[in-house]
Structure formats: C-alpha cells, structure tokens
Amino acid sequence: MSWSEIALICVGAVLLVVIIAWAVTAKKPKNSDKKVDDFEVIDGVRYTKDDQVVDEKGEVKMTLRKGDIMLERGKVYKVGKDLLAGKYTVLSGDENISSINIRVGGLVRDYKHFSSIMLTDGDEISALSANVILR
C-alpha cells in the first residue's frame, strides 16, 4: 500500500466523521436542552414545572433566570421559531409598571404583572408598552 492510498483513506475517514457530526447536530432542535431549571420541553412544547415568581419572603424574583425569555419592546417574536409554545408567566421588565400591553396574534391585550399567557405554535407576540420577561 502506498502513501497516497493511506492518505486517501485517512481523508475519507475524517470526511465521514465530519458528515456524521454535521448530521447529528442538524437534527437537534434549536432549544436542545430538554430540561432547564423549572421547565421541560416535550415534543417542542414548553411545560412549566414551577411558576413561582415570589420567594419564601413574598418578595418578587425579578432577576433573569436560565430559561426566562426577554421580549424587547416593539420587536415581533414568532412562537415555534423564536420561543416555544406553552404557558408563561408575564413579568414586567420595569418594576414601576404593573400592566403591559402585549400583542398576540394581532390582538392587543393588557396583561397584569404575574398573569399567565398561553402561546400556541405560529403565534406572533410583541411587547408594546415595556420590555417583558416570560418565565
């Protein structure tokens, strides 16, 4: 066996490993973590295990945690592409604002701080009056 044949076999093996690695990563969903802190993803839908937004003392947990989604005011997000379908708790990004106007599927509604919102696949959502945290 000559050196050119050995080199050709090595290049082919490396190419095969790269193709297999690419195929495996291409099949993973964008949110590849099945469990992140307090929610679980089952068949592309987000299920919250614990939606507590206050601690044991009754104080608000306003810091962003892993798994929280920040909706910037005026930016449109698509459910299924930018975030997962499921039930979320709406938190105001500004502690002085107690209710937020949010457009979901073309309809604008006033959501109170700590209220729940259900998002289905294909919905478009945008925060209109302030930044919003979805937990």
Per residue in 15-49, pLDDT tens? 999 999 888 887 765 544 444 456 667 666 666 65
How far is 64 from 133, CA to CA, in rounded Å?
8
With tokens 């090595």, the residue in question is 10
**Chain centre distance of CA 87:** 12
* Strand partners of residue 1: none
| 50 in the same domain as 22 | no
**DSSP 3-state of 131:** coil
| 72 in the same domain as 109 | yes
- Please check whether residue 4 is in contact with residue 11, taking contact to mean a CB–CB distance below 8 angstroms: no
| 22 in the same domain as 45 | no
* H or E element, residue 47: strand 45-48
* Global pTM exceeds 0.85: no
| 79 in the same domain as 22 | no
Percent of the chain exceeding pLDDT 90 equals: 28
Spatial CB neighbours of 36, under 8 Å, sequence gap ≥ 6: 66, 67
Structurally, the chain folds into a number of domains equal to 2
Pull the structure tokens for residue 19: 């193709």
| 25 in the same domain as 58 | no
What is the average pLDDT across 107-121? 90
Q: How many CB atoms lie within 10 A of CB 53?
A: 15
Phi, psi of 89 (to 5 degrees): -100, 130
